[in-house]
Amino acid sequence: MVKVNDNYLKLPGSYLFSTIAKKVNAYTAANPDKKIIRLGIGDVTQPLSASVISALHSAVDEMADAATFHGYAPDLGYEFLRKAIADNDYKARGCQIEADEIFVSDGAKCDSGNIQEIFALDNRIAVCDPVYPVYVDTNVMAGRTGTYDPASERWSDVIYMPCTAENNFAPELPKEVPDLIYLCFPNNPTGSTINKARLQEWVDYANKNGSMIIYDAAYEAYISEADVPHTIYECEGARTCAIELRSFSKNAGFTGVRLGFTVIPKELKAGDVSLHALWARRHGTKYNGAPYIVQRAGEAVYSESGKKETKELVAYYMKNAAYIMEGLKSAGFDVSGGVNAPYIWLKAPNNMTSWEFFDYLLENANVVGTPGSGFGPSGETYFRLTAFGSYENTVEAVDRIKKLSI
């Protein structure tokens, strides 16, 4: 008799953003005359840049000619893109990351979920709380998290690192030593960051204790403060304790195009086993490579015109973030984030729970955000708004919220 992977049955409810979509769809069906403004999911709204579009068109033309046609991509990515990434994202910042240490994929979400596959099931994981749900859920699916306690909303074998107002939404070094440490800066969902000196403490901690840091830097393009590192490899010793995940989704607007990469230095090992070789084996077995036309589009992001356009795109969304921050502060909300990240983290008013505020905002302002409790127990009573909407919709959404009697 066929049996299922019982670990999937341990997952509580549906994926956070699926639940939000169901609620919004139900409200929209019941209120077809209402204009819903979505500032919930972190999906971009502005079109791809001219350089990217030009590269896509050129690559499509190549695919129409037998002499320049490309079939399966190299498992680990085309050399032209890997070199562009190494030169512009790492060597330009003084980090000695080589092209063959970069593994191209179709986005950071799949890599952040799949990376745990190369580690043993008895490894203990540590996550920030609140946290991007994929880190925990994929470890649940693998059978690494123990049992779920509905009362505390925690897994028995997960080490939680609370990120609260008291510690400026940045985790403390865990007293109980984990094997795998998930860090995301600038942070999703809180928008918080840490400076280089603090990140160096994490690297030193991991090297001292034999831990591995899985570092999600998907939002590094939004960093505006000089002392906030863009990559963990700016820290001494990171090559022996850290894997970095990156994405083209939020900096270049590739959410609908799909492109990302993982960096694994060659000297990174678990015992005597090379993690670079292990991930290459896994990647080559389970993945046929990102499409040629998409990788050419990624390469265009690093052209001189592409860099300029990316900065303009980031500035557009950060203008939205500033408007949300200023508007909500003037309305009396307790807000954070929005300086080095496109996310604004706010305290729900009047002792509302996260989901109560979600419902209130949807019904009274027709604005969609994301309940903080969906990111973990420490997110309860908090709420996330994204700056990825159009500027016009962002202004209208904030103005609607400011008019509420709360």
Amino acid at 296: R
Q: Is the peptide bond before 186 cis (omega within 30 degrees of 0)?
A: yes
Q: Where is the domain boundary, 285, 303, 321?
A: 303
Q: Where is the domain boundary, 278, 303, 328?
A: 303
- Which two tokens mark 315? 């500035």
CB half-sphere exposure, 331, CA atoms < 13 A: 21
Same domain, 292 and 317: no
Same domain, 321 and 180: no
Same domain, 158 and 253: yes
Q: Is residue 166 part of a domain?
A: yes
Tell me, what CATH number does 256's domain have? Answer: 3.40.640.10
Dihedral of alpha carbons 166, 164, 364, 45, sign:
positive
Same domain, 319 and 285: no
Percent of the chain with pLDDT over 90: 96
| CB 233, CB 263: distance < 8 Å | yes
- Concatenate the DSSP letters of all residues of 285-351 into one string: HH-----HHHHHHHHHHTSHHHHHHHHHHHHHHHHHHHHHHHHHHHTT--EEE-SSSSEEEEEPSTT
- Position 378 confidence tier, pLDDT thresholds 50, 70, 90: very high
- Which two tokens mark 111? 């890599």
Categorise residue 171: left if φ over 0, alpha if ψ from -120 to 50, beta otherwise: beta
Same domain, 154 and 283: yes
Same domain, 95 and 140: yes
Q: Is residue 133 part of a domain?
A: yes
Instruction: Tell me: pLDDT of 337 over 80.
Output: yes
Same domain, 365 and 264: no
According to the model, what pLDDT value does residue 336 have? 97
Same domain, 169 and 262: yes
Same domain, 222 and 281: yes
Q: Within 10 A of 43 (CB to CB), how many other CB atoms are there?
A: 15
Amino acid at 56: L
Q: Is residue 225 part of a domain?
A: yes
Number of domains in the chain: 2
pTM for this model (two decimals): 0.96
Q: Are strands 260-263 and 242-247 parallel, antiparallel or unpaired?
A: antiparallel
Instruction: Tell me: pLDDT of 12 over 90.
Output: no
| CB 268, CB 274: distance < 8 Å | yes
According to the model, what pLDDT value does residue 16 have? 82
Give the list of residues 6+ apart from residue 291 with CB closer than 8 angstroms, or none: 73
Q: Is residue 233 part of a domain?
A: yes
| CB 175, CB 181: distance < 8 Å | no
Give the list of residues 6+ apart from residue 190 with CB closer than 8 angstroms, or none: 130, 163, 169, 336, 337, 343, 345, 384
| CB 364, CB 404: distance < 8 Å | yes
- Which two tokens mark 94? 């003084």
- Position 42 confidence tier, pLDDT thresholds 50, 70, 90: confident
Tokens 């510690």 locate to: 167
Q: Is residue 134 part of a domain?
A: yes
DSSP count for the chain of H helices, then E strands: 12, 17
Tell me, what CATH number does 29's domain have? Answer: 3.90.1150.10
Distance (Å, whole) CA 345 – CA 151: 24
Same domain, 63 and 205: yes
Question: What is the three-class DSSP state of 253?
Answer: coil
Q: What is the mean pLDDT of the chain?
A: 96
- Which two tokens mark 390? 């159009």
Same domain, 379 and 299: no
Q: Which residue range forms the structural domain that includes residue 378?
A: 6-47+306-402
Q: Is residue 1 part of a domain?
A: no
- Position 13 confidence tier, pLDDT thresholds 50, 70, 90: confident
According to the model, what pLDDT value does residue 138 have? 97
Q: Where is the domain boundary, 303, 333, 359?
A: 303
Q: Is residue 242 part of a domain?
A: yes
Distance (Å, whole) CA 375 – CA 384: 10
Q: Are strands 180-184 and 212-216 parallel, antiparallel or unpaired?
A: parallel
Instruction: Flag the least confident range among 37-46, 86-95, 168-177, 190-199.
Output: 37-46
DSSP state of 137: H
pLDDT in tens, 174-227: 999 999 999 999 999 999 999 999 999 999 999 999 999 999 999 999 999 999
Distance (Å, whole) CA 250 – CA 254: 7
According to the model, what pLDDT value does residue 235 have? 98
Distance from the Cα of residue 11 to its chain's centroid: 21
Same domain, 296 and 317: no
List the one residue out of 97, 107, 125 whose CA is nearest residue 295: 107
Instruction: Tell me: pLDDT of 250 over 80.
Output: yes
Dihedral of alpha carbons 239, 115, 127, 191, sign:
positive
Average pLDDT over residues 236-240: 98
Distance (Å, whole) CA 78 – CA 60: 16
